[in-house]
Structure 1
Amino acid sequence: MMSSIQQNIFTSSVKAVNKLNLVDIDKINQVLEVLAKETENSIPYILSENKKDIQRMSTSDPKFDRLLLTEERIQDIAKDIRKVASLPSPVGKIISEKILSNGLKLSKITVPFGVIGIIYEARPNVSFDVFSLCLKSGNVCILKGGSDAFFSNTAIVSIIKRVLLQEGLNPDICNLLPADRSSTLQLLNASNYIDLLIPRGSKELINFVRENSKIPVIETGAGVCHTYFHLEGNLEIGKEIIFNAKTRKVSVCNSLDCLLIDKERIQDLPDLCKKLIEKKVVIYADEPAYAQLENSYPSNLLHKATSANYGMEFLDYKMSIKTVNSIKEAIEHIANYGSKHSEAIISENKSCIKIFEKLVDAACIYVNTSTAFTDGAQFGMGAEIGISTQKMHARGPMALDELCSYKWIVEGNGQIRP
């Protein structure tokens, strides 16, 4: 049974759609600029509310870094909001148009989805990202954050609503559901109110949403990311890429989880892993890799791998290593254990690179660079609403264009069908 709070949120969100579609793009950009400034002005308030959340979570929890906000991170969020404001509107683009033999003019144009529901875990920055992208693309958003980020999300949405009111727009353009489980269940069943559902979080969350939602879902899958150091890989390039992909930020979905290394280059493994010691990265190595590392890598950080260590999204200073006999075996390993997110090859062999690009099934393929770049902002999208690992409609970083559907406009001058 839907509570009155949830019912009111769903109903008011639907009512806000038509009014939002009549707001011109200059006004929307103005609202985003004001929000960016208000976000910067509210840094002390946001941090104080975020502190209430992080005090309830252990620093050893992989979600801790995702939950944590800092002054620098909030300033970066404001920059992303301004970037979204500077981008062209994705709405009203003519995808195609033609005139039929009977004189009818057909135009295929981009339009907002309408109401978009977002379910996410301990990532308060998502509240800002989702709102800015939804507003710019003409969508109303209903946010369902996790209880871990209750105080942070409540503070952020209060700032957003304040700016909307101040700028003369309907505050129901952005709504936050209660953080309890019942709200999740109601959201999954709100097919009369919500046009699209996007989950962001753990594999368990995404699977739960996919299996229980009555609303179309775009999956933003877990990131089990591999980097394959090929027989003809450059050692110096490899060292830096592996270190960056693993340690730049371990709590994100684009961080390195498994290093694949050609058996003919196994002697280079100690050099490839040397910098990882600085960050105390725990390694789970198969037998050949373990034999190479046991005299050079700290024993307290080195463990023998089991099958459970492959296909795991660590979200921590941990990674696995698998020795492979060929590029074919590397691709097979990725097919068996990857999540279709981001996969990389380090090689100077152009023909092998092409094979990797063609045969690896993932949203993003990297050649001689770090998987850390799988990010909407890094791709020039301003921000992202998630990384789609599916193939329908959207794939990879999703931003403004992916938040639009399309409609056909058919213009005539009295034609009737015989």
Structure 2
Amino acid sequence: MGKTKRDEIIVGLDIGTDKIAAIVGEYTEEGIDIIGIGTAASRGLRKGVVVNIDATVQAIQKAIDEAENMAGCEISTVYAGISGGHVRGLNSHGIVAVKDKEVRDADLARVIDAAKAVAIPMDREVLHVLPQQYIMDEQDGIRDPLGMAGVRLEAKVHIVTTAVTSAQNVVKCANRCGLQVADIVLEPLASAEAVLEDDEKELGVALIDIGGGTADMLLYVDGAIVHTAVLPLGGGHITNDIAVGLRTPLEAAEQIKKRYGCALPTLVEEGETMEVPSVGGRDARILSRQLLVSIVEPRVEEIFEHIRQELLRSGYWDSMAAGVVLTGGCTIMEGIPEMAESVLELPARRGIPRRIGGLTDVVKSPVYATGVGLVRYGCHAEPASLRLPVMHHHDRNLLRRMWTRLAEMF
């Protein structure tokens, strides 16, 4: 974990398409206090994937320096987020015989290993194995079977895999900044840590994190993750549409989107206007805000249509009683929750980081959901072996099996 002062400093590094954010959290008796934040514009990513190492390294360094100055500490280790269209999720299950008629840690490790034994191509690695439930002698719905008596133990799990090279590039960028990566975490999983309530997870909820280059999705049913997906759609598409539609430079289009953007025409008054810079040194123009909404609305609707298709494809459409929680920088725009409700036909709310202290007024925004979530994840994560270099999942499984055998022998 991010070490300095004490071992209680944890750093989340959100490597996004539009921005890179470093969030420094301090673990206290009351919970987590955010004590430092650093952000930098991201230039080296496309659709959530690193495409330019040097540009990404520079942005990470800037964000880390800023966070170090604010927190007054030196950052050496981070929990890094990963996203992109290469992320895949699948459900699996494993069965083992319980050794001593009572479930011990070794039995849990074996049943998770059995569930994890699925054919994965050589160019992919397992990022997370997330237990959904355990079944003991045909009694299902068990969350923690440790110490229970029985002879047959089954585990249902959700496995998240990523492209090996994408994970390696994230680690490489952090290493070039002199940082060690304690763990790589799926970004929507981190966001869920920050913005979802336990009762929503139990009832069934879809977390939708819309950033600059991707829309990340995570579905919870009965408190467990059942589906993950990353769609290559995000706020960057809206910015491009504005730049083309209003004939304005991309930087200006981004500012116009943030300042005047709205997804629903009914929320904009008739006479509202805005100043729009022109390209090629021409004079700026005064245009109606309604024109901007007519460009933004169809693209936002299209993004939610794709999300709807993915939710239907997951097979859990009828299980989302708590509706959807929207987070990520793109969801700050006026009218986004209303548009989500009308397209998805589900209740929707904006998700902002909760249950944190310290610089709450700064990080209480959907923009920082992933960064705060990475800190929360780091607080209760088992100290993973520092990922340097990234091991192939086959090597990691072999090592884990060796440790399990040794633990059983002694």
Q: TM-score, normalized by length of structure 1?
A: 0.28
Higher Cα Rg, which structure: 1
Higher share in helix: 1
Higher share in strand: 2
